[in-house]
Amino acid sequence: AQNRRLEEAPGKLFELPEVLATAGSHTLNVMQKGGRVARQARMFISYSEVSIKNPDNSGRALPLTYVCCREQAEDGACWHLLTSEKVACAADARRIVSHYERRWLIEEYHKAWKSGGTCVESLRMQTRDNLERMVVIKAFIAVRVLGLRQGGISEETQNDSCEKILTPTEWKLLWVKLEGKPLPSQAPTLKWACLKLAKLGRWHDSKRTGCPGWVVMWDGWFRLQDMVEGYLVMKSLDQEI
């Protein structure tokens, strides 16, 4: 939200948290980005019905609900959210915050799909039908690569089996290629698969973030699919011989 003027008060929107009562708290997972390390932040939530004035003072004010979610530290994170959804209690306010919190995951998906990963924005197809087919195909690929990367860097899921995302053939080929030792009796973790796929895409973790970018994830995925295709071709030849 922008710092708009209010109908019911002489001040502006961002001044409201100073006079609103705290309705509850929310633990926010702040994702790693650039030089910023991933962390958990305790956010305090307040909310109020407001009427936003038109910038040029024309027409009626717009009735909305304002939800503020901020850390207590002076330089801490702070979200100013406006919604047309009904907010009647603290649980409703937390729901609005949780919706906005998903923005990061949506942004990461679009990076995986549109630019840094499968790069659908760079497609130059001759017909609209062909473009739509490729966009849909790459959308599903982006979902798989996103699931692998996010699952591998999240503390909640990084120890889950990589077979949530990879097929047995995929992770076994990845293991043989990069580990150089006998296959384990159980599938390795999502974290292992995420880091090894990035390594296959020539990732070196030079910034020591432990979080590979989309270019190396996509390159690793592309090389892994080439390995799978080669394996299946050789397997079919062995059967024929």
Residue 19: name the closest of 6, 36, 37, 35 by CA.
6
Whether 112 and 97 map to the same domain: the answer is no
Whether 190 and 112 map to the same domain: the answer is yes
Whether 171 and 235 map to the same domain: the answer is yes
Q: How far is CA 240 from the centre of its chain?
A: 45
Residue 172, domain CATH: 1.10.740.10
Whether 32 and 115 map to the same domain: the answer is no
Residue 8 lies in a domain: no
Whether 85 and 164 map to the same domain: the answer is no
Residue 1 lies in a domain: no
Contacts for 192 with CB less than 8 Å, ≥ 6 apart: 152, 162
Distance CA 70, CA 29 (A): 13
Whether 90 and 121 map to the same domain: the answer is no
Residue 5 lies in a domain: no
Residue that is last in its domain, among 101, 125, 158: 101
- Helix axis angle for 103-110 and 90-101, nearest 10°, is 20
Whether 46 and 151 map to the same domain: the answer is no
Tokens for 98, please give them.
């949780």
Whether 189 and 79 map to the same domain: the answer is no
Residue 2 lies in a domain: no
Residue 6 lies in a domain: no
Kindly list the averaged pLDDT for each block of 10 residues, start to end, along the chain of length 241: 85 90 87 72 93 83 94 87 94 93 89 85 90 92 89 88 95 95 95 94 80 90 95 83 47
pLDDT of residue 35: 67
Whether 52 and 131 map to the same domain: the answer is no
Residue 173 lies in a domain: yes
Please count the structural domains in the chain. 2
Burial letters for 59-84: b for 16+ Cβ neighbours within 10 Å, e otherwise? eebeebbbbbbbeeeeeeeebbbbbe
Residue that is last in its domain, among 69, 101, 133: 101
Which domain range does residue 80 map to? 13-101
Contact present, 151 and 194 (Cβ < 8 Å) = yes
